[in-house]
Amino acid sequence: MQITLMKGKNHRASLPEADLHHEGSIAIDRKLLDEGGFVVYERVEIFNVETGARFGTYVIDAPEGSGTVGLNGATARLAIPGDKLIVVAYATFNEAEARIFRPRIVRVDGENRILPG
């Protein structure tokens, strides 16, 4: 049996930018990607805390330390700058792996800087 679990999450990131005319994706600060265990081009689910919208896209990296969390292409229509987003990646595990696995959860402040703890 295979079980799908949340492997990583960026919790309540602020959306500073959305670019309808950029190739579709979500650009995320490299530091946030690394801390959350995300891989460039990985499929992610995005939850807009403000509207309840849920949608998927893939990840591209933004410069480390930039604080960038930017929606691109069609996804830019699903949130506006200032919205809070939760970005989640999933992985599939066998039952034994699932019982011991712990996801990487990254909480950020209003400027998308990683909070301690």
**Choices 3.40.50.300, 3.90.420.10, 3.50.50.60, 2.40.40.20: CATH for 2-92:** 2.40.40.20
- Which pair of structure tokens corresponds to residue 109? 């402040």
**Is 117's pLDDT higher than 90?**
no
The domain ranges of the chain are: 2-92
Produce one character per residue of 55-88: b if its CB has 16 or more CB atoms within 10 Å, e if not. bebebbbbeeebbbbbbbbebbebbeeebbbbbb
pTM value?
0.94
The whole-angstrom separation of Cα 35 and Cα 64 is: 11
Catalytic residues: 25, 58
Centre a 10 Å sphere on the Cβ of residue 39 and count the other Cβ atoms it contains.
Answer: 15
The whole-angstrom separation of Cα 3 and Cα 85 is: 25
pLDDT, tens digit, 9 for 90 and up, residues 3-58: 999 999 999 999 999 999 998 899 999 999 999 999 999 999 999 999 999 999 99
pLDDT, tens digit, 9 for 90 and up, residues 59-105: 999 999 999 999 999 999 999 999 999 999 999 999 999 999 999 99
Burial class (CB in 10 A: 0-12, 13-18, 19+), 108: buried
